[in-house]
Structure 1
Amino acid sequence: MNIIRYTTLCAAIIGLTGCSTSIDDYQNTTPEFNLKEYFSGNVTAWGIVQDFSQKTVRRFCVDIIGTWQGDNGKLHETFYYADGETQVRVWQLNIQQDGSVTGSAGDVIGQASGGATGMSFNWNYTLRVPIDDSEYDIKVDDWMFMMDESRMMNRSYMSKLGISVGEISIFFDKTQPVRKCQ
C-alpha cells in the first residue's frame, strides 16, 4: 500500500512541475515588454497581498519613479499601505548585453535576475520580510504582463522552503503623469 501512495505522490509532483510556466511560453505576444520604456518616469500601481490561504491581508498603492542612464536604471518605489504604513524600496537595475536583467535593493538578499519575452517579464529574487519581531527570507517568482502600452498586471508568488506562503497581485498604470497615491 505504501508503494502505491509513494508512486502516486511522485507522479503528482512530476505532473505539477511539468506544467510550470516558462518565459518562452510568451514569445510572439504583444505588446512587447520593455523594462526601460515602461519604467521611465512616473508609474502608479495598486495591489493586494494574500496569505497562503488566499485571504487578502494587505492593500496598498505604490508610486514609482524610474530613471535610466544607458542600461543602468533606478526604480524608487514608495508603498502606501491601507493600514497607514509607508515603505520605500529602491531598485538598482542593469540590463545585460544579452537582454537579461539583474538588480538589487536594500531588502533583497543577493541579486535579482530575470528577463523579458513578448508581453511578459519574469523576475526572481529573495526578499527579506519583517513580520512582528522577526525577519523571513522569502523567495519571489515575479511575473509582469503588459496589457497595453500603459497598463500592466503583476503576479508574485512567494515561497519559503518550497512551500507557498502568499501571493501579490498588482495593477500598474502610467496613463497620467501625476503621482496618485498620496
Structure 2
Amino acid sequence: MTLLAVRIVWFKGVVFASFIGLLGCSSPTVSDYANNTPEFSLAQFFSGHLTAQGILKNRSGKVIRYFNADLHGEWVDGVGTLKEDFVFDDGEKQQRTWTMTPNENGQYIATANDVIGYGVTHQSGNALFMNYVLRVPYNDDSLDVSVDDRMYRVNENVVINESTLSKFGFEVGYLTLVITKVTAPE
C-alpha cells in the first residue's frame, strides 16, 4: 500500500469514527420519558398559584443572574393562561403571559408577549419539551434567542425546567429553574 492509500484509509476511518461519535451524542427525545411518572399534564400542573426560583448561566457555565417568580395559571374551555412575574437579583422585574391553546394533535400552541411566533409542546410521561424564539432585553436593545425548553415533573408539586439558549446555532446561555405548585387548582 502506498503512503497516499494509507492516508486515505486513515482519513476515512477518522471521518467514520467521528460520524459514529456524533450519533452517540444525540440528545434525548421527549418519548424517552414515556414510562416516567408522575405524568405531566400541562393543564393540571399549571393551575393556581406557583413559585419558581432559578439561575441564568452564560455560555461558559458561570451563573450571572438569580431570580424568583410568582406564577398564576388559569384554564377556561381548555385554553390556559400563565402569568409570570420575575424579580432578578439586581432588582429588575419582568413579566410574561403565556397563552396555551390545544391543537388537534393533543399538543399546545404556546404564545407569549415576548415570544416571536409560537412554541408547540411535546409531552410524554413526566416530560414536556418546547422550542421557541424569545426576545430578551440586551443592553439598551433586545436580542432574539432560540430556546430549547425541557421540563420534568419530579413529583406532584415540583417541575424542574432546563433551557438552552442559542443564537445563530451557538449556545449562549443556560437557564435552570424549579417550579413549585403552591395551591391546588382554583
- TM (norm. structure 1) is 0.88
Sequence identity, in percent? 36
Question: 1:156 touches 1:168 (CA, 8 Å); kept in 2?
Answer: yes
- In the alignment, structure 1 residue 114 sits paired with structure 2 residue 129: no
* 1:96-111 aligned within 5 A: 96-111=103-118
Q: 1:98 to 1:9 in 2, by over 3 A?
A: same
Deviation at 1:20, TM superposition (A): 1.3
Question: 1:110 touches 1:126 (CA, 8 Å); kept in 2?
Answer: yes
1:94-147 Cα offsets, whole Å, 9 max, x none, are 122321111111110111112210000001100011110232110000000011
Deviation at 1:54, TM superposition (A): 0.4
What is aligned with 1:177? 183
- In the alignment, structure 1 residue 131 sits paired with structure 2 residue 138: yes
* 1:1-182 aligned within 5 A: 4=11, 8=15, 11=18, 15=22, 19-174=26-181, 176-177=182-183
Deviation at 1:163, TM superposition (A): 0.6
CA distance in 2, matches of 1:10, 1:138: 32
Question: 1:40 touches 1:66 (CA, 8 Å); kept in 2?
Answer: yes
Q: 1:41 to 1:13 in 2, by over 3 A?
A: farther
| Secondary structure of the corresponding residue to residue 147 of structure 1 | strand
Q: 1:57 to 1:177 in 2, by over 3 A?
A: same
CA distance in 1, matches of 2:19, 2:96: 38
Question: 1:29 touches 1:119 (CA, 8 Å); kept in 2?
Answer: yes
Q: 1:67 to 1:13 in 2, by over 3 A?
A: farther
| Secondary structure of the corresponding residue to residue 83 of structure 1 | coil
Q: Which amino acid aligns with 1:135?
A: S
Deviation at 1:177, TM superposition (A): 3.2
CA distance in 2, matches of 1:143, 1:13: 26
CA distance in 2, matches of 1:138, 1:34: 27
| Secondary structure of the corresponding residue to residue 155 of structure 2 | coil
Give the number of aligned pairs.
176
Runs ≥4 residues deviating over 4 A? 7-10
Question: 1:48 touches 1:56 (CA, 8 Å); kept in 2?
Answer: yes
CA distance in 1, matches of 2:125, 2:32: 9
- TM (norm. structure 2) is 0.86
Query: Runs of 5+ in structure 2 lacking a partner?
Result: 1-6
